[in-house]
Chains A and B, each alone.
Chain A
């Protein structure tokens, strides 16, 4: 009479907490997840194919639109991969400005993560508080390059323009108030009993599994592996910066939350150092108007807010287009670990798990 049936349910592709168009096929026993299979591709635009048919310069606008929450981090990886392909030396001032913008971008991305993650778990006030600070960062983006979200701020070989007058004032104003804002979020969440109940011990992924599944970024650092590309393979001006890699060993959702908050503090530190030690000089290397490659292939990885973003480029002799353009999207690889994290837990935990993964489907589907 009482049959113990499992129910199959589709979380997404239209669902409030799948951050876009992720679809997760779940098999539920009551509310317990027995089987989980993420299905992606609903936002597949063929960025790689398009970039192979554009010139080296034109690829940039497409990198903006992959992870639209961290456009500058995507640009930076792309620009550096191209510079490696052509052997371009970037002026030091440009490196510093890039580093600073990248850290601002990391802050913006982490703020969006905190906002959506908290909203998924039901704390809706943090959502609006973090967007208030993100607004200031977008204003800084706007002051630098005129656009706010998909910035296209960098160029192969450096930057299009130097910092605008009055930029320092904006940055200092932001840095003066940002620690207090972080404290405000922590007051709302860190010691909140419900928040801890929903996050501590939820969606665990230990270091061994994380490395085996290729998980990078804060997810890996929360498992106790101090792997940060900014330190391991320094790029831009990170070799000259003094900062720490925050790690935790609990490897759960709460640890990732703490790691990301600590990372925001470090980012503010790096921005301060960039402003203090900003060298003088040009911001653009001397490069020809049209880049034509030799036969070469590079894989360049940088630390995006979500993890390791890598660009694999193959140059064809005499051609202005890359022969092969491939993006190693951090979200794509990190999302693989979702079944590992949620199988056996409750339906509400998958929401926390998706939130803590910090995915942007534009990047995963490309």
Chain B
């Protein structure tokens, strides 16, 4: 390789236009898939009303079409048939949320009263949504109450709901009672910037899980002993599991080896050499 073929030393930092890259395009979710009994019932009712309205509209359309055809002397169109309920030929049955009947949930409602926002059961799992300011109280109750005795916080995580109004995240706590062989999910809805109380005060196992939530979703927890990122480096920008974060990242650690390899590495070498006072530059060919 002659000197003429050597790559030019790149000037200035290499900037990758991440917005142009096709795999960095983000599609933001439109809906808020937050399960809940009340929402489900409302949705079902709305669905029935919509179906009814659609049927009424079909009937009305038919009447209009019929009148029009009779007036013009053409063949009368067929009368609309109400669509039969689609037969489920698969082994799938959607586990719809049901009203809370479990003793644990009732106990929680009894003890916490107004602070409980919603309780329901779905797919055999118990969910209790409490007010975002009262989570510590709820956790303490679950841990200490002689009828609940949820000894272990098995899992804690969150979900980002950018399309929601009034809140931005849900944080869920999966509690396990080893002695009673039961599970319970506690849920809070928190807006952007809100710092819920840390569960580490009740369950020490929440330590790393809350750090992960901070790292991945950007929810800070108040009174946490060690609120730093856990999986990503300290200086990482953004929170990866938010819905507005592209799958391949924002290009923090990108090196495009096809286009910039020589320039990039060359530039780093030059910088290092400059710091050490060494002249690495090749003499220019005359």
**Interface residue ranges, A against B (CB under 8 Å):** 40-41, 44, 46, 48-50, 52-53, 84-90, 157, 211-216, 225, 227, 232-233, 285-288, 294-299, 301, 308, 310, 312, 314-317, 323-324, 326, 328, 332-333, 335-336, 365-366
Contact = CB atoms under 8 A, between A and B. Distances in A.
Contacts of A298: 123, 125
A295 B151 CA distance: 29
Interface of B: 29, 31, 33-35, 39-40, 89-97, 122-125, 127, 151-155, 157, 159, 172, 174, 176, 178, 181, 183, 185, 203-205, 207-209, 212, 216, 229-233, 240-241, 245, 247
B181 A233 contact: yes
15 contacts: A41-B229, A44-B231, A50-B247, A53-B247, A87-B93, A89-B93, A90-B91, A212-B205, A214-B203, A286-B91, A296-B35, A296-B94, A296-B97, A298-B125, A310-B174
A310 B212 CA distance: 16
A286 B154 CA distance: 33
B154 A214 contact: yes
Given A286-B91, A332-B208, A312 B172 contact: yes
A41 B95 CA distance: 36
Nearest to A332: B208
A148 B166 CA distance: 49
A157 B91 contact: yes
Given A85-B123, A87-B93, A328 B159 contact: no
B95 A296 contact: yes
A332 B215 CA distance: 15
Nearest to A50: B247
B208 A86 contact: no
A295 B91 contact: no
Nearest to B185: A299
Contact of A286 (B90, B122, B231): B90
Given A214-B153, A299-B183, A301-B154, A86 B35 contact: no
A221 B39 CA distance: 41
Given A314-B35, A328-B157, A336-B205, 4 more contacts: A87-B94, A297-B127, A310-B154, A312-B155
Contacts of B185: 297, 299
A225 B208 contact: no
A41 B230 contact: yes
Contact of B231 (A41, A211, A212, A317): A41
A296 B34 CA distance: 8
A332 B90 CA distance: 37
A185 to B, nearest CB: 30
Contacts of B95: 84, 87, 296
Contacts of B183: 233, 299, 301
Contacts of B91: 88-90, 157, 285-287
A183 to B, nearest CB: 33
A308 B183 CA distance: 13
A211 B155 contact: no
Contacts of A310: 154-155, 174
B208 A295 contact: no
A93 B86 CA distance: 29
B34 A333 contact: no
B208 A336 contact: yes
B266 to A, nearest CB: 27
A205 B208 CA distance: 18
